[in-house]
Amino acid sequence: AAFIEPVLVVRRVLREQLAVLHSRILTIARDNATAKRLMTIPGVGPIVALSYFATVDVPARFTNSKAAGAAFGLTPSQYQSGEIMRTGRISLCGDRMMRALLYEAAQVMLFRSQKWSWLKAWAMKIVKNRGAKKGIVALARRLAVVMHRMWMDGTDFRYGREGSAPAA
């Protein structure tokens, strides 16, 4: 029982320091207009938004928003030789941590978020037809694209698609 006391003290100090770090991250995210805008997407919290902001850094370096998904290695690799053309696994190039964070955000949007959006409905169709993991990866890639477009346009996340007729 004497050896457990120091472990409990260390655990308490770690939890206190984690709370301080969490409050600092929230403060930074609230002060950053782009991160605040990105956090309007369900599943995207302060850590994902700030990491995306830091990883992309200059959004104009991508010629179009679709290139953002490829930059994080979330596009399928292609094998072509003569008449043979196969689509493989995701390429895994780019920032590994950002890819993992986008995967987590996609997973939260699909399975934890109660609010429906066009993006969640799109991903749910993929999950139904192709499986959960492929749906999550596809949504992670689409999240990278949507986040880039939101950053470039300066718009908040829209839950419905523009130009679609309202349900009667």
The structural domain count of the chain equals 1
With a pLDDT cut of 90, the percent of the chain lying above it is: 53
Q: Cα angle at 47 between 14 and 99, to 5 degrees?
A: 115
Domain that holds residue 82: 32-153
More confident of the two residues 159 and 38: 38
pTM of the model: 0.81
For residue 142, tell me if it sits in a domain: yes
Which residues contact residue 81 at a Cβ distance below 8 angstroms, ignoring those fewer than 6 apart? none
Structural domain includes residue 27: no
